[in-house]
Amino acid sequence: MPGPQKNLAASVNGSRLWDRHMAMAEVGGTPRGGVHRLPFSAEDTASRRLLLSWAEARGFSAQMDDFANIFVRRAGLDEAAPPVMSGSHLDTQPLGGKFDGVFGVLAAFEALEALEDACVQTKRSVEAVVWSAEEADAGFGIGCLGSQVYADPTKLLPLSQIVDNKGTTVREALERMLRDHPKLPRRDFRAPISSYVEAHIEQGPALESGGHTIGIVTAIHGQRWFEVELFGEAGHAGNFPEKLRRDALLAAVQIIAELRALFYDPSDIVRFTIGRLEVDPNALAVIPGYVSFTIDFRHPDEEVLSELGDKVAVVAAKNRGPCEVKVSEIRRSRTTPFAGIVPKAILAATTNLRLPYCHIASGAGHDARYIAELCPTGMIFIPCWRGISHNELENASPNDVAAGARVLAETLLVLANCEF
Amino acid sequence: MPGPQKNLAASVNGSRLWDRHMAMAEVGGTPRGGVHRLPFSAEDTASRRLLLSWAEARGFSAQMDDFANIFVRRAGLDEAAPPVMSGSHLDTQPLGGKFDGVFGVLAAFEALEALEDACVQTKRSVEAVVWSAEEADAGFGIGCLGSQVYADPTKLLPLSQIVDNKGTTVREALERMLRDHPKLPRRDFRAPISSYVEAHIEQGPALESGGHTIGIVTAIHGQRWFEVELFGEAGHAGNFPEKLRRDALLAAVQIIAELRALFYDPSDIVRFTIGRLEVDPNALAVIPGYVSFTIDFRHPDEEVLSELGDKVAVVAAKNRGPCEVKVSEIRRSRTTPFAGIVPKAILAATTNLRLPYCHIASGAGHDARYIAELCPTGMIFIPCWRGISHNELENASPNDVAAGARVLAETLLVLANCEF
C-alpha cells in the first residue's frame, strides 16, 4: 500500500544513483577507471542483467523487443495509455567511460524509484529504456542501431547485414547476445510512446566552462561527413624541383586552410573538424604522392548545412594545385529540433529547482534523434569533466548527476500526468 | 701483349654494360621488375660475387677493407701511385630499382674493361669500388656506412653499434656478411686516392625534362631535418566549440602554410618537403590532440641553410595557436661542393662527346660526399625515367647508360694520366 505522497525531487537519492553508476562501471571496468563494454558483448548482457535485478527488487516489470531494447516499467493508473519513456544505452565505446549512456539509463531508473519512494501515482506509466548498440559505430561504422530499428523496423534487414572488421554481421552478434539474455515478455517495435526524454552527459565543455548544471537541448545538429583525396606523385625530396612536384600534402594543406577560413563562424555554432588525415608513403625524404582527409561538419540549420557543405568540393577543386582531387560525401543526417512540451517541461523543472542552466545544441548524435520521429522528445545535458568523453578519463560530479536526475524525475512526472 | 691503342669511348660496349645491369638485377630481383637487395643480406653478398667473377674473367685484381668495401683494380704503369677511383653501391632500398648505385659500379667496371679493350695504358691505376651499406638508412636510419668509415675510421665504432628494428647491430650484420664473403687481400681505410668520380642516375626529373643526357654535378646539397610536434587536446567533433578547441592539426596546417610561403623560392633551388605527418587519435569525429610532422630542407648554400632553417622554430612558435609546439632538429649535414679538376674533366669529356648536358646540384646524398673529404671528387648524373627512384619502377634508357659510361671512361683516362 502506498504511503503519504512526498516531494519527488527530494526523493531522488543521489548516493544510491552514484553507487549504481559505480556498480555498473565494474561490468567491463578497465584498470584505468574506464569501461570497455562493447555492444552485443558478454559485458553488455551482464550490464542488462544487473539493471533487471534492480528492477525486480523494486517490483518493476520489464519487456524486450526483437532488437533486445529493454523497457523497465513503473505502471501508471491508465495501463493502456502510451507510456512516458526515458533512457539511453549501457554499451560503451572501446575503452570508454562510466557515464556516456549509463547516466541516461540510471537517471531514468532513479526517477522510477523516486516516484515509488515518493508514493506518487502517475496517470501514464513511466518507463526506463535501454537502447541496444548505440555505440556500434566503433565496430560496425554506424551507431544507435536499437533506437533506429525501434523507430523504423524497415531498417532491421539492412542494418542486420552490416559486418564488423571481423566479418560478424549485426544479426549474428544480436542473435548471440539474445541466446544469453534473460527472457522477457515481448514488446513490438514502434509500440506507441507518449513522450521521450533522454538525459546524457554533454560530452563537451560548454556547461562546465559556463558554470551551468543543466543544458536544455534545443536540437541535435545535422551533419555531413566528407572524404577528400589528393592524388599527386611521390618523388625524392632532394631531387624534385618545386615546379615539377605534385605534392599531395601541400595541396591538402592549402585546401584545409581555405576550408578553415570558409567555415570560420564568429558566433561559434559551426562545428568543423578534420579528424583523420593519412599520407602516403609518409616517409621523411619522399614527397607525398597521396593524401586523404575527412571533414566532419555539423550545424543546427539545414540551410547552412546545405550551402556551406556544398562548397567543400568547390574549394577542393580550386585549391588542388597540380594534383587530382576527389571529394566523397560519406554520410549526411538532418537536424533534429527539440521543441514543444518536452523542452518546456524540462525548463519548468529546472527553474523550479533553481538550477543554473542554458539552452544548448548537441553536436553529437543520440538515440533521441530517432525516437523524435515517434513522439515529442527532448534531452537534458549535465556537465562532464573538461568535456572529455569516449575516453577512460570521462567523469562527472555526483552533484551534477543527482541534479540531472532530479530535473528528469520532475519532467517525467509532468509529462506522465499532462493531457495531450 | 697489348695490341694497338683504340678509341676509348668507342670501346665502351653499351650492350655489354646493359646486359650486366640485367644480370645484376636478377640478384634479389622482384616479380614487379625491381630489386630487393638489402645491405649485408645474402643477395648483397651474391651481387659482389657476381662482380668479382667478372673481374677475375678480365684479369683485374681486387682488394677489400674491414667494412667490406671492394676495390677492383686495373693496374697502371705506376703501381705505387694512388689510384683514380670510381664506383658507387650494389645494395638497394627495400623494393628498390635496377639502377640506383648499380649504374655507378657497372659504369666504372665498364670503364676498366673499355681501357683494357682499347689497349690503353694509364699512368695511375684505375679502380672500380663497391661501397658497403649505402642504403642502410631504411634499416639502420643512416646511410653511406662504407664510404663514411673509409673516409673516417673513427666512425667505425659508433656506426657499428647502431641497431635496426630487429635488434641487429651493424657490427653483427657486417660480421655475418664477411663470413660468407669471398676472401680478398686487405686494403686499409683511408688508403690514398688520387681522385674520385661517381656516376649515378639523377633520381630526379630535371635531366629528362630538360632534354639533357649528362648532368655535371656541382654539389651535394646540405640538409637539415626537423620534427615538429603539436600538443593540443582531443575532443568530440560535435560538441567542442571552436573557441574551446586546441586542435593540433589546424595548428600544424597553419604552420605548414606559413613555412611554405617562407621557403618559396622563385629560382627553385630550395628543396622543402613535409614528407611525414601523423595525427593522433586520427578518428573522423575526434578533434586531433597530437600531430607530428617532418621537414626535409636542402640547399647548396650553407648560409641559406642556416638562416632559413633557423626560422622553422620561429614560425612554429608564432603559428601554434592554442597548442604547445616542440621543434627538434634531427639531422644536419653540410653542403659538399664539387669543383676543380674532376668536374672540369667531366665537362671536357662531355663536350668532346657532344652530349647535351647541364650543371646540376644533387639534393640526394651519395658516397661521393664522404670521399670528397679525401681527394678531388665529382659526379656524373644520367636521366632516369620520370625521376622515379627508390622504387621498383626505377628505369633508365640503354642509350643514356652507355653515354654516361663513355663520359666516365674518358674522365677517368684524363685523371689517370694527369699530373697533380
pLDDT digits (tens, 9 = 90+) for B222-253: 999 999 999 999 888 988 899 989 999 999 99
Query: How far apart are the C-alpha atoms of A270 and B24, rounded to whole Å?
Result: 60
Torsion of CA B117, B120, B122, B126, to 10 degrees: -10
Chain A residues with CB under 8 Å of B236 CB are 203-204, 363-364, 387, 389-390
What distance, in Å, lies between the first and last C-alpha atoms of chain B?
30
Q: Is A277 on the interface with B (CB under 8 A)?
A: yes
Distance of CA A220 to the CA centre of its chain: 10
pLDDT at A31: 95
**DSSP string covering A239-294, please?**
T--GGG-B-HHHHHHHHHHHHHHHH--TT---EEE---EEEES--TTEE--EEEEE
pLDDT (tens digit per residue) in A275-327: 999 999 898 888 999 999 999 999 989 999 999 999 999 999 999 999 999 99
Residues A90/A44, Cβ–Cβ less than 8 Å: yes
Report how far apart, in Å, the C-alpha atoms of A235 and of each of A241, A264, A325, A359, B256 are: 10, 34, 19, 53, 19
Neighbours of B375 (CB within 10 A): 16
Query: How far apart are the C-alpha atoms of A236 and B275, rounded to whole Å?
Result: 10
Please choose, from the candidates A37, A60, A396, A419, the residue with its C-alpha nearest in 3D space to the C-alpha of residue A199: A396
pLDDT at A420: 59
pLDDT at B127: 98
In this prediction, residues A189-193 reach a mean pLDDT of 97
Find all residues with CB under 8 Å of A11, minimum gap 6, and list them. A114, A115, A117, A118, A409
Query: How far apart are the C-alpha atoms of A196 and A346, rounded to whole Å?
Result: 12
Query: How far apart are the C-alpha atoms of B414 and B352, rounded to whole Å?
Result: 12
Judge: B274–A288 Cβ closer than 8 Å, yes or no: yes
Smallest Cβ–Cβ distance between A268 and the set B209, B243, B270 belongs to: B243
Residues A297/A227, Cβ–Cβ less than 8 Å: no
pLDDT at B2: 64
Find all residues with CB under 8 Å of B159, minimum gap 6, and list them. B142, B145, B148, B149, B170
Packing angle of the helix pair B42-57, B14-25 (nearest 10 deg)? 150
pLDDT at B141: 83
Q: Is B285 on the interface with A (CB under 8 A)?
A: yes
Q: Is A250 on the interface with B (CB under 8 A)?
A: yes
Judge: A241–B273 Cβ closer than 8 Å, yes or no: no
What secondary structure letter does DSSP report for B118? T
Query: How far apart are the C-alpha atoms of B175 and B172, rounded to whole Å?
Result: 5
Q: How far is B150 from chain A (nearest CA, A)?
A: 25
Judge: A235–B205 Cβ closer than 8 Å, yes or no: yes
Strand bridging mode B195-201 / B214-220? unpaired
B174-213 residues touching A, CB cutoff 8 A: 202-206, 209
Smallest Cβ–Cβ distance between A250 and the set B260, B265, B287 belongs to: B260
Query: How far apart are the C-alpha atoms of A342 and B30, rounded to whole Å?
Result: 68
pLDDT at A261: 96
Amino acid (1-letter code) at residue B269: I
Q: How far is B226 from chain A (nearest CA, A)?
A: 10
Judge: B244–A270 Cβ closer than 8 Å, yes or no: no
Chain B residues with CB under 8 Å of A244 CB are 205-206, 209, 387
Q: Is A265 on the interface with B (CB under 8 A)?
A: yes
Mutate to test the interface with B, among A137, A212, A273 (most CBs of B within 10 A): A273
pLDDT band at A138 (very low <50, low <70, confident <90, very high): confident
Query: How far apart are the C-alpha atoms of B88 and B93, rounded to whole Å?
Result: 14
pLDDT at B420: 59
Please choose, from the candidates B88, B6, B107, B109, the residue with its C-alpha nearest in 3D space to the C-alpha of residue B365: B88
Cα three-residue angle A397-A400-A404, rounded to 5 degrees:
140
Residues A36/A30, Cβ–Cβ less than 8 Å: yes
In this prediction, residues A353-366 reach a mean pLDDT of 95
Is the pLDDT at A1 greater than 60? The verdict is: no
Cell numbers describing residue B157: 665504432
Of A86-100, A229-243, B143-157, the range with the lowest mean pLDDT is A229-243
pLDDT (tens digit per residue) in B114-154: 999 999 999 999 999 999 999 998 889 889 999 999 999 99
pLDDT band at A141 (very low <50, low <70, confident <90, very high): confident
- On whether the pTM is more than 0.90, the answer is no
E strands in A300-393:
324-333, 336-337, 357-362, 377-382
Residues B72/B49, Cβ–Cβ less than 8 Å: no
Please choose, from the candidates A264, A204, A129, the residue with its C-alpha nearest in 3D space to the C-alpha of residue B286: A204
pLDDT band at A362 (very low <50, low <70, confident <90, very high): very high
pLDDT (tens digit per residue) in B9-31: 999 999 999 999 999 999 999 99
What secondary structure letter does DSSP report for B387? G
pLDDT (tens digit per residue) in A250-263: 999 999 999 999 99
Mutate to test the interface with B, among A99, A242, A263 (most CBs of B within 10 A): A242
Cell numbers describing residue B240: 567542442
Residues A128/A112, Cβ–Cβ less than 8 Å: yes
Strand bridging mode A286-287 / A324-333? unpaired
CA dihedral (A278, A136, B250, B280) positive or negative: negative
Q: How far is A79 from chain B (nearest CA, A)?
A: 39
Query: How far apart are the C-alpha atoms of B374 and A35, rounded to whole Å?
Result: 64
pLDDT (tens digit per residue) in B177-188: 999 999 999 999
Is the pLDDT at B155 greater than 80? The verdict is: yes
Cell numbers describing residue B11: 670501346
Looking at chain A, which residue has its C-alpha nearest residue B295?
Answer: A284
Query: How far apart are the C-alpha atoms of A65 and A53, rounded to whole Å?
Result: 18
pLDDT (tens digit per residue) in B74-106: 999 999 999 999 999 999 999 999 999 999 999
Residues A178/A100, Cβ–Cβ less than 8 Å: no
Query: How many residues would you count in chain A?
Result: 420
Query: How far apart are the C-alpha atoms of B247 and B322, rounded to whole Å?
Result: 8
Judge: B205–A244 Cβ closer than 8 Å, yes or no: yes
pLDDT (tens digit per residue) in B311-360: 999 999 999 999 999 999 999 999 999 999 999 999 999 999 999 999 99
Q: Is A322 on the interface with B (CB under 8 A)?
A: no
Q: How far is B164 from chain A (nearest CA, A)?
A: 17
What distance, in Å, lies between the first and last C-alpha atoms of chain A?
30
Judge: B239–A362 Cβ closer than 8 Å, yes or no: yes
Classified as helix, coil or strand, A21 is: helix
Residues A333/B285, Cβ–Cβ less than 8 Å: no
Is the pLDDT at A393 greater than 90? The verdict is: yes
Is the pLDDT at B1 greater than 80? The verdict is: no
Find all residues with CB under 8 Å of B106, minimum gap 6, and list them. B17, B20, B21, B24, B405
B84-143 residues touching A, CB cutoff 8 A: none
Is the pLDDT at B221 greater than 70? The verdict is: yes
Q: What is the mean pLDDT of chain A?
A: 95
pLDDT at A2: 64
Amino acid (1-letter code) at residue B372: A
Classified as helix, coil or strand, A302 is: helix
Is the pLDDT at A116 greater than 90? The verdict is: yes
pLDDT at B31: 94
